[in-house]
Amino acid sequence: AQSVTQLDSQVPVFEEAPVELRCNYSSSVSVYLFWYVQYPNQGLQLLLKYLSGSTLVKGINGFEAEFNKSQTSFHLRKPSVHISDTAEYFCAVSDHSSSYKLIFGSGTRLLVRP
């Protein structure tokens, strides 16, 4: 069965510093990969997705992620964070045979300090 591991439960960072949120998935089959953001008391908003093609994916709000098949990773990065980026970030995977069924990681809380 598919699983997603987000290695850091919380990442504190100062404003304007770069950040990387780590995500690893367990699968040898073809997968689709997603990063979602959740602000307090809200639903999930899609940041970016990898379906195929270029392994570097750019999303909204200046975020990007790199798909690494050999390491089964899909780490999220931003070169300079803002206070408003403080939120919970979830990595998710679905395999091609059960598309639209997302398996989520446990989340990483990004805490941006002034």
111 binds other proteins (CB under 8 A): no
CB count within 10 Å of CB 37 equals 20
Residues 66/75, Cβ–Cβ less than 8 Å? yes
With respect to other proteins, which residue has the nearer C-beta, 3 or 80? 3
Q: How buried is residue 35: exposed, middle or buried, by Cβ count under 10 Å (0-12/13-18/19+)?
A: buried
| Single residue of 19, 57, 87, 103 touching other proteins by CB under 8 A | 103
90 binds other proteins (CB under 8 A): yes
| Single residue of 23, 73, 76, 105 touching other proteins by CB under 8 A | 105
Interacting positions 63-82 with other proteins (CB under 8 A): none
With respect to other proteins, which residue has the nearer C-beta, 28 or 99? 99
Residues 93/29, Cβ–Cβ less than 8 Å? no
83 binds other proteins (CB under 8 A): no
99 binds other proteins (CB under 8 A): yes
Contact positions vs other proteins (CB under 8 A) = 4, 6, 32, 36, 42-46, 49, 51, 90, 92, 94, 98-107
